[in-house]
A and B are shown apart, each in its own frame.
Chain A
């Protein structure tokens, strides 16, 4: 049996198709102004008679009427993280519009969680907007900050940070130094946020920013421990959804 998990995030919509052999197919698309359309685009790509269960997660999850189950991104990220890192007891997810910290017990059940969902501070969107001002692509983040020296950015409000960066540019501060400064700001905030859960075990880091080696290194610095990531880290929510669906049918 195939199981389909779809994660309708604010920036991207992710789909994962898996069976007892593991992940079979994956797809990531930009979430359009109609999240329903993006959801169905992923759904239509993967759906066949062989799919025994579809689980939707993410902020747009309720839009997929054809889903067998709708489960929050907290539960799905917890399950997905255990797939990538079976021993983790903590999860950090930096998404497009929020940041999550999740505590797990030894069986992988969620025991506590925090969500920073009130403003863009500490989210992928914050990094994205700042890179936009620096006229650079988020995908090239690691190359962009090679040999850079971090400059301190004190504003956490996206709008204020933007004007702070504009004045730094006006003072001829190299763009790479500014970008590295932004990385430090987000990483420090994320580590403090995660610290509120008071955990000590292995931590899995998911979301788009987990693809950046430099971001992971800086985050490890602030956390004071190493973090686990996966090349498919951005799909953690969708993987979790697909696994929960698979397990509920099997």
Chain B
């Protein structure tokens, strides 16, 4: 795809957003705005927006601080938890440093127990996330969201009115719609961008703190990519891969690279770095704002839910819409819920959807890059 000349430049502002964000986070804080560090997509970001605060994802994806974290945490724990904890403890992550409050959820066992230790050196609030998605659970989650609102109001001496919250719901929905249009470009065959470019935008956008301007910025990018795609007429047909499983970050982008260096293209990320938390909007017409938030957020199909039917509904739709030739599941070492659920995903993809599936367990290190290359190449040869 080297024919594209201008696109890398357009993507650049997004892929560099995480680094540039260090400075903008500081400016944002200097202007007196609170920064809320989050670990998971279950936190309703509208609450932060409604109080003029911004959220930043603290899920780390580098093995730099894992050794340090192992002074407190067991070795046999998921690298995401260890790394995130390590960055917090060593104060090596500016986003963690700038966060006025860290919000966690009782998603997986490792995370919820880790937050107990994190609270020793950082203000932490843990939302009690139910592990099912029925009406009782939704009511519980609604109460947790209301409790969260009260914590924010008290801690930051602000008032989150219904009016402000509704405005935030509209704004966040706009961002979701813009993002859906953007990644939706990859439904086209051939795809107008590489999976790595898509990934950089997905990650980069969350580090852009001007949330008011973000939707139009994303739409601008969407338009440019599409215009260029139509001019260039790239006809290179490659096998189309969907990635599912654990969240991905800089360290695990090695999987995307292995797929794309060996002849295929990633067209969709089902995981929570990608579409999982973006697809469903908050119902703007529901007068019960907290009920609407609870409905949207609890519907996210993470493997911490049991049963996790939403994930399979989403996969079912994405595999068709994105004309997927093969599914790659990437899980992190010792992520029990995703690792256990992988068998159901395999059965679903192979038996119900009739598509090839492969599974890869990895961590934030680089020692398995060659092995991943061989597996991905073999998988692509199979398609």
A interface list, Cβ under 8 A from B = 59, 71-75, 109-113, 115, 117-118
Q: B382 touches which one: A59, A113, A115, A117 (CB < 8 A)? A: A113
Are A73 and B381 in contact, with the CB atoms below 8 A? Answer: no
Contact indicator per residue, chain B 342-383, by CB within 8 Å of chain A (1) or not (0): 000000001000001110000000001011001101110110
Q: B381 touches which one: A72, A112, A117 (CB < 8 A)? A: A72
B interface list, Cβ under 8 A from A = 350, 356-358, 368, 370-371, 374-375, 377-379, 381-382
Q: Which A-chain residue is minimally distant from B350 (CB atoms)? A: A112
How near does chain A come to B15, taking the closest CB pair, in angstroms? 28
A135–B108 CA distance with the chains assembled, in angstroms:
48
Contacts of B374 in A (CB 8 A): 59, 72-74, 115, 117
Contacts of B378 in A (CB 8 A): 72-75, 110, 113
Contacts of B377 in A (CB 8 A): 72
Can you report 26 residue pairs joining A to B where beta carbons are below 8 Å apart? A59-B370, A59-B374, A71-B381, A72-B374, A73-B374, A73-B378, A74-B381, A74-B382, A75-B382, A109-B382, A110-B381, A110-B382, A111-B356, A111-B382, A112-B350, A112-B356, A112-B357, A112-B358, A113-B358, A113-B378, A113-B379, A115-B371, A115-B374, A117-B371, A117-B374, A118-B368
The B contact surface, by secondary structure, is helix
Contacts of B350 in A (CB 8 A): 112
Are A75 and B381 in contact, with the CB atoms below 8 A? Answer: yes
Contacts of A71 in B (CB 8 A): 381
The CB with the most chain A CB atoms within 10 A, among B358, B375, B378, B379, is that of B378
A111–B381 CA distance with the chains assembled, in angstroms:
10
4 closest residue pairs by CB, A with B? A74-B378, A72-B378, A110-B382, A75-B381
**Seed contacts A113-B358, A113-B378; 20 additional CB < 8 Å A-B pairs:** A71-B381, A72-B377, A72-B381, A73-B374, A74-B378, A74-B381, A74-B382, A75-B381, A109-B382, A110-B378, A110-B381, A110-B382, A111-B382, A112-B356, A112-B357, A113-B379, A115-B374, A115-B375, A117-B374, A118-B371
A111–B379 CA distance with the chains assembled, in angstroms:
9
Contacts of B358 in A (CB 8 A): 112-113
Contacts of B382 in A (CB 8 A): 74-75, 109-111, 113
How near does chain B come to A125, taking the closest CB pair, in angstroms? 15
How near does chain A come to B264, taking the closest CB pair, in angstroms? 14
A74–B382 CA distance with the chains assembled, in angstroms:
9
Contacts of B368 in A (CB 8 A): 118
Q: Which B-chain residue is minimally distant from A97 (CB atoms)? A: B371
A140–B231 CA distance with the chains assembled, in angstroms:
67
A117–B368 CA distance with the chains assembled, in angstroms:
9
Q: Which A-chain residue is minimally distant from B376 (CB atoms)? A: A72
A8–B370 CA distance with the chains assembled, in angstroms:
14
Q: Which B-chain residue is minimally distant from A75 (CB atoms)? A: B381
Contacts of A72 in B (CB 8 A): 374, 377-378, 381
A109–B379 CA distance with the chains assembled, in angstroms:
12
Q: Which B-chain residue is minimally distant from A58 (CB atoms)? A: B374
Contacts of A112 in B (CB 8 A): 350, 356-358
Q: Which A-chain residue is minimally distant from B371 (CB atoms)? A: A117
A118–B365 CA distance with the chains assembled, in angstroms:
13
How near does chain B come to A47, taking the closest CB pair, in angstroms? 25
A57–B371 CA distance with the chains assembled, in angstroms:
14
Contacts of A115 in B (CB 8 A): 371, 374-375
A73–B381 CA distance with the chains assembled, in angstroms:
11
A72–B378 CA distance with the chains assembled, in angstroms:
6
A59–B374 CA distance with the chains assembled, in angstroms:
8
A118–B368 CA distance with the chains assembled, in angstroms:
8
A135–B376 CA distance with the chains assembled, in angstroms:
39
Contacts of B379 in A (CB 8 A): 113
Contacts of A110 in B (CB 8 A): 378, 381-382
Q: Which B-chain residue is minimally distant from A77 (CB atoms)? A: B378
Contacts of B375 in A (CB 8 A): 115
A247–B379 CA distance with the chains assembled, in angstroms:
21
How near does chain A come to B263, taking the closest CB pair, in angstroms? 12
Contacts of A111 in B (CB 8 A): 356, 382
Q: Which A-chain residue is minimally distant from B347 (CB atoms)? A: A198
How near does chain A come to B259, taking the closest CB pair, in angstroms? 14
How near does chain A come to B326, taking the closest CB pair, in angstroms? 11
How near does chain A come to B225, taking the closest CB pair, in angstroms? 33
A110–B374 CA distance with the chains assembled, in angstroms:
15
How near does chain A come to B193, taking the closest CB pair, in angstroms? 27
